[in-house]
Amino acid sequence: MIKKIKTYLSLVKFSHTIFAMPFALIGLFVAIQELGHFPDWYIFVLIILCMILARNAAMAFNRYTDHKIDKANPRTAMREIPTNKVSPKNALIFTIINSILFITATFFINKTVFYLSPLALFIVLSYSYTKRFTFLSHFILGLALSIAPAGAFLAITSYLTTQILMLSAAVLFWTAGFDILYSLQDEEFDRENGLFSIPAKCGRNNSLKLSSLIHLVAACFIILFSLSLNSNFLIITGTCIFLILLIFQHLIVKKDDISKINIAFATTNGVASLVFAVFIIASLYYKA
């Protein structure tokens, strides 16, 4: 049983929850500050649960739709479905179960998130097909992750603000930028197999430049969001660390050396999102 659980956690790359979850928590605590009081504990639990369920559904569906592609790609041939650790049918069932539980959980939060839950689910699931017909797939992934802070905010307030939309925009462009870097690994495979990605279309050098430009946009939105808060040394510190790590990943991934992509993609971005969330959330309760 434990082995099976580990297999499914690996299937959905549960460790990568660290990308969107910290931003969801920022959205949650900014919403709490907006209303001036902490929600009932079960609402807090349901928001976290929805994050996990939606991501499980999205990742399992991605593995289901891409299992033939993954099997043909040497980089992904050892994933759970190509190696028969999880069958395509079971991956699809896992997707359906998580999707149903996600929508059910939103029903107990508020009407707004419940009515919007099918749309949110459509966005996070549809990403899996976008690489088959558009180079904008990186931005669709960014849109899927950008739902996290906005969704958490909506779960508390039932409305959105310009402030939280700036944070969601930052997540969108941050994700799109690092997904372009990550896709450099499959540049030749995507091109040879008719798959759409910016590296396959533009080449390594232009993709690196475009990723840097997109991350510059993300940095602008991060700064705007941070400025919208009550500035203190915690906000400034957290923002600076995030921006430094944003720059760092572009320094270690080079035109003639992409061997450190996994460090840039997983480690650097994971640390950046977590540190930023810790400092921003702490700043909301800091009393000078």
Using CA atoms, how far apart are residues 211 and 277, in angstroms rounded to an integer?
23
Q: What confidence tens digit (pLDDT) does each residue in 139-173 have?
A: 999 999 999 999 999 999 999 999 999 999 999 99
pLDDT at 151: 95
pLDDT tens for residues 178-234?
999 999 999 999 999 999 999 999 999 999 999 999 999 999 999 999 999 977 899
- In this predicted structure, the answer to whether residue 15 has a pLDDT above a threshold of 90 is no
> Is residue 69 over pLDDT 80?
yes
Average pLDDT, whole number, for the chain? 92
Cβ atoms of residues 282 and 230 within 8 Å: no
* pLDDT tens for each residue of 83-100: 999 999 999 999 999 999
For residues 120 and 8, what is the distance between their CA atoms, to the nearest angstrom?
23
Task: Kindly list the domain boundaries of the chain, sorted by start residue.
Answer: 18-284
- How far apart CA 139 and CA 126 sit, in angstroms, is 12
- pLDDT given for residue 288 in this prediction: 57
Contact yes or no for 226/279 (Cβ under 8 A) = no
**Which CATH superfamily is 18-284 part of?**
UbiA prenyltransferase (1.10.357.140)
pTM beyond 0.85: the answer is yes
Average pLDDT over residues 273-285: 94
| Least confident segment among 20-29, 38-47, 271-280 | 38-47
